[in-house]
Structure 1
């Protein structure tokens, strides 16, 4: 079976990581997966399996009729069994290129919660029209599915397929060795954030909160791993100006982030918009618990007070207060980390995610 994914790019990010993991996993099951990138290839294209091709559609700036035409031509040439578009922009082009799903079955993936602008009546009407041409709309969390249904979208078309994590790759390991690789003192209390510097990730809020707690936790360190995104320059400058600059480690983009997680005591996720956090799953697989903002699908993967913490992190003070409470009892970090590893191993495996998509694709191809 041949699948064509349509994305903006394969720049490092949670959704993009999921597409790569899916294509690699399905190759072993006889699938061939290609990727059409509207804007650019992106670094994650190098991780695709050998059987996959990347096609550039040349979109730049605003809406591009030429990109839609190129996608239509590509579909005619490679004849995929299913087209899988990811998020709204790629769905617009996929809907046009397939004549509303009539030329090829169309599966739409929603990977993050709707933003405030997407709740505007005009945007909801646009999404409703595009969804008519989709065989299935999948979300990455049950909370996102419920959100779409509450907006009036057809429940019978919407399924939730939770993200999965490779628990053989993301595993607990020697924490001291991991810290040494990043020149972090062995006796540190390490808080980390991993991901692209997007506008919703709240890196600066975390830096502000970290500065509040340092006087009470002089061994605390903040590790920031990631690259790209519209806020990267602002976050870098904020770190440069920090009074506690020596305690904040900018690790940059990590093509293999396993050691980043293994160096941590706690992952912080103050993000105000997520689907189902890949970073949370990867950290938990490494035996690292997470502190996450309420909502954003976190309740599906974190059991508060058992394998992590969920709190309404609306302000810097909220975040600082939660960090203070957690770091005051460091023994809980070890216990919660052990529970977190058990949780993702049993409920969020990569294999179970791949199987769910395999069933979805086969059903769509039989329409």
Structure 2
């Protein structure tokens, strides 16, 4: 069986990382090629280290050049199935694959209700060309409208549990992002990109109450420096907490941030199914998170560390409780240890392989 995994971009975001996990776990069981339409390509190196072929098709993901390049690629290589990820790959990949008579399935990574209107229209239109749509969580599946004309399944996002633990084993003194931090002071971390939906502004606004109880506490925010980071930095200066907030930039190995943090804060107002949440669970780090469907899918309804969306006051109070109460932290860790295995890479890869085989037999 010959499969093309097609992504829009190949950056370090959640969808390309899921592509990597699928490819890594299935590359010895099926013939698999990874291609991306264009844009950022920061995740190419891990694929190459795993001896998984990767092909860039164009410079921009949504472009006529990308569509033409994919058309040529499918003409030159005979695939049994195309598996698309990200809106741009679905928009271009589903109709082009269908034009070649190739079965195509599409993985939906984001909550439909939170998408821009243009993305909604593009996805609904291209869904008519697909044979199967796969949601990465129950909450994503439930967000799809009744007029989303495609058969549907759910396969939860996946991670490589053992590899993540292995990557985290780096000493504090060997890390660059820790240069200006105090190893003995509490660290609250948020590993994400600068997207307003991540609600980092709420985390910053909550941190003054944390500092009232823990004056030497440190807030660590990762991510490539963009205009949004400058705005958040200005907010820390307005609040007088800039000395305790660290914008550490892009961290090549984010597992080390989880490993050395005391608490992970995830106040997002919307997620498809957060890889960052799963990574925090692997490290059994206490997580304080907004109670949104994607996080409940991961942690369960009874997890004690939820806070309301857009509530800096509740976020600050729960962060303080987590840092103060060892029994509270242990309750969180026990729930994570009980649930994390259901999101392993092997489990998801087997589910995808079953779907590949079912679609190619039709």
Q: Please confirm whether the aligned pair reaches a TM-score higher than 0.5, indicating the same fold.
A: yes
Question: Any idea what the Cα deviations from partners look like across 1:77-101, whole Å, max 9, x if unmatched?
Answer: 1222221222322211113323x46
Question: Are the structure 2 counterparts of residues 29 and 276 from structure 1 closer, same or farther at C-alpha, using a change threshold of 3 Å?
Answer: same
Deviates more, 1:185-194 or 1:328-337: 328-337
1:27 match: 27
2:151 match: 157
1:142 match: 138
1:8 match: 8
Deviation, 1:128, is: 3.4
Q: Are 1:93 and 2:92 matched, yes or no?
A: yes
Q: Are 1:319 and 2:315 matched, yes or no?
A: yes
2:299 match: 302
Deviation, 1:178, is: 4.1
Question: Are the structure 2 counterparts of residues 240 and 252 from structure 1 closer, same or farther at C-alpha, using a change threshold of 3 Å?
Answer: farther
Contact kept, 8 Å, 1:223 with 1:249, in 2: the verdict is: yes
1:281 match: 278
1:293 match: 290
Question: Are the structure 2 counterparts of residues 236 and 21 from structure 1 closer, same or farther at C-alpha, using a change threshold of 3 Å?
Answer: farther
Query: What runs of 5+ residues in structure 1 fail to find an aligned partner?
Result: none
Q: Are 1:105 and 2:98 matched, yes or no?
A: no
Question: Are the structure 2 counterparts of residues 218 and 151 from structure 1 closer, same or farther at C-alpha, using a change threshold of 3 Å?
Answer: farther
Deviation, 1:228, is: 6.0
Q: What's the TM-score, normalizing by structure 2?
A: 0.87
Contact kept, 8 Å, 2:167 with 2:253, in 1: the verdict is: no
Deviation, 1:366, is: 2.2
Question: Any idea what the Cα deviations from partners look like across 1:11-67, whole Å, max 9, x if unmatched?
Answer: 111111111121111112233222122334x1111111323122232327xx52232
2:39 match: 39
1:54 match: 55
Q: Are 1:227 and 2:221 matched, yes or no?
A: no
Question: Any idea what the Cα deviations from partners look like across 1:244-283, whole Å, max 9, x if unmatched?
Answer: 2232233322222221111112211111221111111111
Deviates more, 1:278-287 or 1:253-262: 253-262
Distance 1:329 1:263 in 2: 19
Deviates more, 1:290-299 or 1:246-255: 246-255
1:202 match: 199
Deviation, 1:180, is: 8.0
Q: Are 1:245 and 2:242 matched, yes or no?
A: yes
Query: What runs of 5+ residues in structure 2 fail to find an aligned partner?
Result: none
Equivalent residue of 2:305, what SS? strand
**Structure 2 residue corresponding to 1:166, chosen from 160, 165, 169:** 160
Deviates more, 1:355-364 or 1:101-110: 101-110
Question: Are the structure 2 counterparts of residues 174 and 55 from structure 1 closer, same or farther at C-alpha, using a change threshold of 3 Å?
Answer: closer
User: What CA RMSD, in Å, does the superposition of the two structures yield over aligned residues?
Assistant: 2.9
Question: Any idea what the Cα deviations from partners look like across 1:181-232, whole Å, max 9, x if unmatched?
Answer: 4244343222110122223112222112113321122232112123266634
Equivalent residue of 2:289, what SS? strand
Distance 1:92 1:77 in 2: 21
Question: Any idea what the Cα deviations from partners look like across 1:93-149, whole Å, max 9, x if unmatched?
Answer: 113323x4652111111101124455x5x865653332121111011101111221x
Equivalent residue of 1:4, what SS? strand
Distance 1:45 1:102 in 2: 27
Contact kept, 8 Å, 1:302 with 1:309, in 2: the verdict is: no
* Pairs aligned (count): 357
1:193 match: 190
Distance 1:338 1:172 in 2: 21
Q: Are 1:127 and 2:126 matched, yes or no?
A: no
Deviation, 1:233, is: 4.1
Deviation, 1:5, is: 2.5
Deviation, 1:325, is: 3.4
Question: Any idea what the Cα deviations from partners look like across 1:297-339, whole Å, max 9, x if unmatched?
Answer: 1111113554x52222223233223323333324422442243
* Structure 1 residue runs of 4 or more that deviate by more than 6 Å after TM superposition: 172-176
Distance 2:330 2:182 in 1: 18
2:338 match: 342
